[in-house]
Structure 1
Amino acid sequence: MDMLDSKDPLVVLADTIKWSKFEDEFAQYYSKEGRPAKPIRLMVGLLLLKQLENLSDENVVIAWKRNPYFQYFCGFSDFQTALPCHSTDLVYFRNRIGKKGFEFIFKHSIEIHSNENLNESQVIADTTIQESNLTYPTDGKLAIKIINHLHKIVKVENIKLRRSYIKEIKQHRINLRFFRHPKKIIKAKASMKRLRTIAKTILRDIDRKFGDNLELHNKYATKFYLYIRVLLQEKNTKNKIYSLHEIDAYAVNKGKDHKGYEYGTKASVVTTKNSGIIVGVSAHRENEHDSKTLKLALENTISNLGSKTINEVICDRGYRGSKQIIINNETVIDISIPSNLQKKDTTKQINIKKEKFRRRAAIEPIIGHLKSDHRMQRNYLKGFLGDQINLLLAATAFNLKKWMNIYFYAFFTGNLSLLKEAYQQLQHQKELIMFLLQLKITMKFSNLDY
């Protein structure tokens, strides 16, 4: 690895992160017996690279083999020609450390930034939808999936049904195509109704064939309850299920012209007002009003920032409802929402309000980067735990990328203010940064003398 560029942002970031913290924290999840596990730095590094480069589990493992900078980031001093691990090992590692472990990683991504950027009394909060990996939900699709699942159970348990309905289902599937067309909607509705009836019939037949076998009844009780719940839900039913594998997803109408509904979970993001560092995130199991999501997001923020005080959170009009919020029964935070100017406001107060709410819009592109660059556009991790982990990893990747950009632009543009900020963050690179500062100042004076 001696031929790598020591000034590359990824190399500098690898030298800056305190990997020993992760090893000490996650050692409790490992046993000293059995086959030796993969290094903790390797697994954490692969997950961070995955979010930084917007790669899947399979692709990040292959990219690691081909990229020496990725290997250096994960702690290897010699180039490796073999794959670091199987892609499924990342799944096991995510389940091993859980939400608590990823909160620890996210907190460290905040701590590597300078205290000057974190010591802000004002923060900005907003919510977005983290869409789940599911197809557009319709009653016909769900009924067909339930029938397919029941056929698999029949095959596994070696049960003989009275009738499989395979040929009839094929025709109903054809009838559901283009079901919104005026000439096809009547036939499509009839097919949807018939598919539900077929699913219920097969379900009852399987239940009868189980007979007095309590072991089989208990084995499939949860699945059968889910199937019945999906088949019985109507148009106005509350807490609908939109996917058999993502039962926590719910429909949210955000008022977008190009997308009527988004199917997933609501996520809150909190950033510092001026520096734009993500200091708090939270995923929400239920589709709550924005004002009710704020408490959980600010609790996560205060736990990450520690003793640093936050006096005010700036939000949009979707958070209307209360003017203050109390966190942990001791911290009182004011909620600022755009409103009409009052006659008693002085010119100074008006200018402060305008600047504050103009700055609030800075969180929108941050959410855009989380979605387009760091895998929050569509969450491929399963369940509500997957929603929480993906949100924490996306926020971690954004903070690390922001840190890398500060270093990159400071080094290549020669900007004195950025160089000073990079110097505060890169203690291990003190000699290099001081040399650059002296060189820049020397060049300025030489130009003046000339």
Structure 2
Amino acid sequence: MYRKQGQNPISPENFEFPFSGKLSSDNRWVVLASLIPWAEFEDEYSDEFSIKMGAPAKPFRMALGALIIKEKLGISDRETVEQIKENPYLQYFIGMSSYSNETPFDGSMLVHFRERISVELVNQVNQQMVKKMLEATSSQESEKKTELSKKEGSTPKNRGKLILDATCAPGDISYPTDLELLNQVRKYTEKIIDFLYKQIKSQLEKKPRTYREVARKDYLQVAKKRRVSQKERSKAIKKQLQYIKRNFSHFEQLVLSGASLENLSNRQYKMLLIVAEVHRQQLWLYENKKQSIDDRIVSLTQPHIRPIVRGKAGKAVEFGAKLSASCFEGYIFLDHISWDNFNESGDLKSQVEAFKNFTGYYPESVHVDKIYRTRDNRAWCKERDILMSGPLLGRPPKNISKEKKKQALESERIRNYIEGKFGQAKRRFSLNRVMAKLSHTSQTAIAITFLVMNLSTHLSRFFCAFLCLFFKNRTFLQSQITENYTFAVSRQ
């Protein structure tokens, strides 16, 4: 069940305290709350709920606001609830009309918030929010641009610089090895055998023998070594595969004896399917002496995670979601996210078209790295008078002028901006280790990171403008004081 909130937004002056006092209008949470279009996406969020059935759900502003607070402060779900309980500004940010000493919701509700708010909805909020920011910061420039476009014609010329790049958001898993995965599979099959045996314990004389102690010793004998040869590792993998195969044969015997897999919970049955698939993949890799396979599972608890080969220094392979992003005017947008590896050069056309839909014109230049500079992408950009960064195709000329070298360096400096944004997302925010466990909740958490980064960018610009205005007025006051002082001295 969902109850829509009032259309009139809550102002910081009307926020009620149990004691005398008012919220400060220049507080960062008050400023951020005024930038996010809460009411525009209330209907889209409420469509997932029934009007009559069920308990009333938390409003959209409370759900999205709590996720933004968690990402902005870099804290856990439970700590987020405690911070909201103690801070009146955070309570105003999530849409509460008065201060309360009680928690507005339980910490586990943030999991449901991530499930209900999709990555597409977060991206829409991000786009509308950035539009609002750009209108607030550059209203005069936009008026000049519209006047120029009217003089030139109905179709404005290309303007602005678009930066494109891709990165990986690693998940919260331990570094996967074949031997460790098989050991986890073996232990789970033993649990299933214990579960099935309890159902028909009175009918069987002896419990099926699993050799679990011997299997554990065989695993630890290799896992504890600092240096393991390929022969020893292959031999240990073979043993674990044989133990797992024996356990699967015990499954059949127990089921034929009267045990039923229907008594397994949904989570147990899902894990059993994952375990069977991991065993199939590892058996194929061992028999064919291969190192890779399609849709390889590297985590039993998060089977959607795939190895992403990036070729970066220090991290040749990352385990998480791959995403491509675009950046212009200092704001960054999430354009494509997938758990499977993909070639980011195929996203260039859709990203440029998204820029046109957002601004109304094509970019003047696109700054990308080498993988984007295909013949198809170059020809497509040339048709639309878009300059692509990087050298031209073919053999480079012998004598390059200083101007062209300077232009190439400047283009590369512009492209470095998005690399800095990725570094900010991974060092300051949670993109370097996504703690959500499900596939769709992880994507929502990644999209929230980009939204919070844009909020932080606008907030820093807001305070920089405030400081510039302050120091400008300060120098003016100092000049007035010195003039008055010299005038008084001359009178004397």
TM-score, normalised to structure 2, is 0.75
d(CA) in 2 for partners of 1:65 and 1:19?
A: 21
Shift of 1:370: 0.8
1:53 equivalenced with 2:73 (yes/no): yes
Determine the structure 2 residue equivalent to 1:13. Answer: 32
1:337 equivalenced with 2:402 (yes/no): no
1:227 equivalenced with 2:278 (yes/no): yes
Which of 171, 176, 192 aligns to 2:217? It is 171
d(CA) in 1 for partners of 2:386 and 2:184?
A: 48
Output aligned runs, 1:248-263, within 5 Å.
248-263=304-319
d(CA) in 2 for partners of 1:284 and 1:293?
A: 12
Shift of 1:405: 0.9
Shift of 1:93: 2.3
Shift of 1:138: 1.0
d(CA) in 2 for partners of 1:383 and 1:398?
A: 23
Output aligned runs, 1:6-155, within 5 Å.
6-33=25-52, 34-115=54-135, 116=138, 120-155=159-194
d(CA) in 2 for partners of 1:138 and 1:333?
A: 46
Determine the structure 2 residue equivalent to 1:391. Answer: 446
d(CA) in 1 for partners of 2:45 and 2:23?
A: 30
Determine the structure 2 residue equivalent to 1:162. Answer: 208
Shift of 1:47: 0.7
| Alpha-carbon distance change, 181 to 228 in structure 1, aligned in 2, over 3 angstroms | closer
CA contact (8 A) 1:23 1:40 kept: yes
Determine the structure 2 residue equivalent to 1:402. Answer: 457
| Alpha-carbon distance change, 310 to 224 in structure 1, aligned in 2, over 3 angstroms | same
Q: Please state whether the residue corresponding to 1:252 is helix, strand or coil.
A: strand
CA contact (8 A) 1:143 1:195 kept: yes
d(CA) in 1 for partners of 2:350 and 2:337?
A: 9
d(CA) in 2 for partners of 1:88 and 1:312?
A: 46
CA-to-aligned-CA distance 1:323-359 (integer Å, 9 cap, x gap):
62799xx978554235686479766555433322221
CA contact (8 A) 1:57 1:90 kept: yes
Shift of 1:261: 2.5
| Alpha-carbon distance change, 32 to 252 in structure 1, aligned in 2, over 3 angstroms | closer
Residue identity (%): 25
Determine the structure 2 residue equivalent to 1:434. Answer: none
CA-to-aligned-CA distance 1:388-440 (integer Å, 9 cap, x gap):
32321111010001111112222244368xxxxxxxxxxxxxxxxxxxx8x56
CA contact (8 A) 1:45 1:74 kept: yes
Q: Structure 1: 5+ residue runs without aligned partners?
A: 417-436
Q: Structure 2: 5+ residue runs without aligned partners?
A: 1-16, 146-158, 202-206, 485-492
Determine the structure 1 residue equivalent to 2:490. Answer: none
d(CA) in 2 for partners of 1:187 and 1:353?
A: 52
Letter in 2 for 1:307: G
Q: Please state whether the residue corresponding to 2:85 is helix, strand or coil.
A: helix
Q: Which moved more, 1:136-145 or 1:164-173?
A: 164-173
| Alpha-carbon distance change, 406 to 353 in structure 1, aligned in 2, over 3 angstroms | same
Which of 367, 370, 374 aligns to 2:429? It is 374
Letter in 2 for 1:226: E
Shift of 1:88: 2.2
| Alpha-carbon distance change, 281 to 310 in structure 1, aligned in 2, over 3 angstroms | same
Which of 270, 275, 290 aligns to 2:326? It is 270
d(CA) in 2 for partners of 1:133 and 1:332?
A: 43
Letter in 1 for 2:457: K
The structure with more radius of gyration: 2
Determine the structure 1 residue equivalent to 2:343. Answer: 289
d(CA) in 2 for partners of 1:214 and 1:137?
A: 29
Determine the structure 2 residue equivalent to 1:246. Answer: 302
| Alpha-carbon distance change, 343 to 177 in structure 1, aligned in 2, over 3 angstroms | closer
Determine the structure 1 residue equivalent to 2:239. Answer: 194
d(CA) in 2 for partners of 1:332 and 1:279?
A: 23
| Alpha-carbon distance change, 249 to 325 in structure 1, aligned in 2, over 3 angstroms | farther
Q: Which moved more, 1:374-383 or 1:291-300?
A: 291-300
Q: Please state whether the residue corresponding to 2:208 is helix, strand or coil.
A: coil
Letter in 1 for 2:192: I
CA contact (8 A) 1:314 1:336 kept: yes
Shift of 1:254: 3.6
Letter in 2 for 1:446: Q
Q: Please state whether the residue corresponding to 1:113 is helix, strand or coil.
A: helix
Determine the structure 2 residue equivalent to 1:421. Answer: none
Q: Which moved more, 1:396-405 or 1:217-226?
A: 217-226
RMSD in angstroms over aligned alpha carbons?
A: 3.4
1:414 equivalenced with 2:469 (yes/no): yes
Shift of 1:278: 0.7
d(CA) in 1 for partners of 2:78 and 2:281?
A: 33
Letter in 1 for 2:317: Y
Q: Please state whether the residue corresponding to 1:292 is helix, strand or coil.
A: helix
Determine the structure 2 residue equivalent to 1:424. Answer: none
1:354 equivalenced with 2:409 (yes/no): yes
Shift of 1:107: 1.8
CA contact (8 A) 1:130 1:266 kept: yes
Letter in 2 for 1:312: S
CA contact (8 A) 1:324 1:332 kept: no
d(CA) in 1 for partners of 2:438 and 2:379?
A: 30
Letter in 2 for 1:5: S
d(CA) in 1 for partners of 2:352 and 2:293?
A: 29
Shift of 1:312: 3.1
Letter in 1 for 2:70: K
| Alpha-carbon distance change, 447 to 29 in structure 1, aligned in 2, over 3 angstroms | farther
| Alpha-carbon distance change, 190 to 359 in structure 1, aligned in 2, over 3 angstroms | same
CA contact (8 A) 2:308 2:319 kept: yes
Shift of 1:227: 3.4
Determine the structure 2 residue equivalent to 1:206. Answer: 251
